[in-house]
Amino acid sequence: VGADPYLERPILEKHVSEGGSQSGLNYAVASMQGWRAQMEDAHTCMPQLRGELTDWGYFAVFDGHAGTTVAQYCSRNLLDHILATANVSPSPSSGGIKASEEPEQAKEGIREGFLNIDRHMHQLARQDSWDRSGSTAAAVLISPQHIYFINCGDSRTLLCHDGQVAFYTEDHKPFNPREKERIQNAGGSVTLQRVNGSLAVSRALGDFDFKEVDWRPQTEQLVSPEPEVYHLERTPEDEFLILACDGVWDAIGNEELCAFVRSRLQVCEDLREICSQVIDLCLYKGSLDNISIIIVCFPGAPQVSQEALQQEAALEQQIDAKVEGDLSRDEDPDLLYVIKFLAAEEIFTYKNCLITIWYVEYCNCLHPTTNNQTNSIALL
């Protein structure tokens, strides 16, 4: 019997950082081990590349499984493999990636970089007896003209543009018809929505137990390392990007998370705090996985608004008054009242965050020895 993948109590320590670039990109990243027995997520944040690519940025999240080796190696080395390809390399005469930055060439170079690093890791795994791990990858390359969305697995990236979700990457799951066809053509099956009843993603870096048919091309194995790559032209209406592992997306949908982040940007200037609030939200909504999120803000991102600040202050004051009244009568805080109040106010993006934060804080004051975290998860 294998070790239990979950802990009796979650590890709540968050690792948070932030940064920016001269071109106007600002970002924050936050991660937490949560209920998982091991932290297998990794990430890379480079808002400003080196050398002749200083007006380019690169961000990526890697969700490892069955170990950490592949996710950690990719976080350190994937970009170098991409930039080493013939299609994605600095042009001495142009001072950038090709004189005209041809998107199709750049996209082909990104795909080639993924296949190259996977091939290289396969050799290292055999030589150095690596663990049997694999990793998803969700990444973006941001040039002055374009955003390149790169996805391999079920981590996800979305773009908020002019207040709406304008684009998001599609998860690579074994039950998707195209993925299922490749798996079956490679001699495998999809059982319990998993590759051979085992792996929950159909594309990944690493996972070399699923890539052992030497005569098959890399992209035709049971699990493919080939990313899907898309590009969009940048516009002034681009607001922010969210890159996150499935510990986020299994708990909250695209539209809800976009609206939540957008609302928090109007009341909070600290991107680190917003990332931290997203992690809290996902945890209290029941996420049992490692949780990692990167938020990248463009110059067109929402700014702090006095109206939004006043609205939030009024909300907190009314909830405070209700909870203090309950406490003065030796009653537990009335969660149902809070839910109904927020629903009546139609403040959709505050709802889950405020309920969980206020309810858990006040219940901890009342019953400090109670496992209120589990209670809050059940309630939501």
Residue 343: is its pLDDT beyond 70?
no
Last residue of a domain, one of 275, 297, 319: 297
Instruction: Judge contact between 153 and 171, C-beta under 8 A.
Output: yes
Please give the mean pLDDT across all residues of the chain. 87
93 — pLDDT class (breaks 50, 70, 90):
very low
156 and 267 inside one domain = yes
Q: Look up the pTM and report it.
A: 0.87
Same domain, 231 and 315: no
* 373 vs 223, residue with greater confidence: 223
* Residue 1, in any domain of the structure: no
297, 323, 348 - which closes a domain: 297
Mean pLDDT lowest among 164-173, 174-183, 210-219, 309-318: 309-318
* Residue 101 domain flag: yes
* Strands 96-97 and 194-195, bridge-based pairing: unpaired
Do 81 and 223 lie in one domain? The reply is yes
Q: 141 with 157: CB under 8 angstroms?
A: no
Q: Are residues 279 and 316 part of one domain?
A: no
* Residue 140 shares a structural domain with residue 57: yes
Does the residue 41 lie in any domain?
A: yes
Q: Are residues 94 and 224 in the same domain?
A: yes
Q: Are residues 244 and 351 in the same domain?
A: no
Q: Which of 251, 277, 297 is the last residue of a domain?
A: 297
* Residue 198 domain flag: no
Domain of 369 in residue numbering reads as: 306-379
Q: Cα-Cα-Cα-Cα dihedral of 43, 48, 50, 51, to 10°?
A: 160
Do the domain assignments include residue 350? yes
The pLDDT of residue 373: 41
Residue 183 within any structural domain of the chain: no
| 326 shares a domain with 231 | no
pLDDT of residue 318: 77
Alpha helix (H) ranges present in the chain?
Answer: 69-83, 103-128, 177-185, 246-249, 254-265, 271-284, 306-328, 335-345, 348-366, 372-379
Task: Assess whether 369 and 320 both reside in one domain.
Answer: yes
Residues 306/312/315/316 CA torsion (nearest 10 deg): -120
Q: 58 pLDDT band (50/70/90 cuts)?
A: very high
Which residues fall within 8 angstroms of residue 306, CB to CB, at 6 or more apart?
Answer: none
Residue 187 resides in a domain: no
Query: Looking at residue 128, which CATH number applies to its domain?
Result: 3.60.40.10
Residues 49 and 12 in one domain: yes
- Please check the confidence at residue 350 and state whether its pLDDT lies above 60: no
Decide the pairing of beta strands 228-233 and 146-152: antiparallel
364, 225: one domain: no
For the chain, how many structural domains are there in total? 2
The pLDDT tens digits of the residues spanning 108-139 come to 999 999 999 999 999 999 999 899 999 999 99
> What is the predicted pLDDT for the residue at 278?
94
Residues 341, 254 share a domain: no
Residue 95 maps to a domain: yes
In whole angstroms, give the CA distance from residue 323 to residue 321: 6
231-289 per-position pLDDT tens digit: 999 999 999 999 999 999 999 999 999 999 999 999 999 999 999 999 998 988 889 99
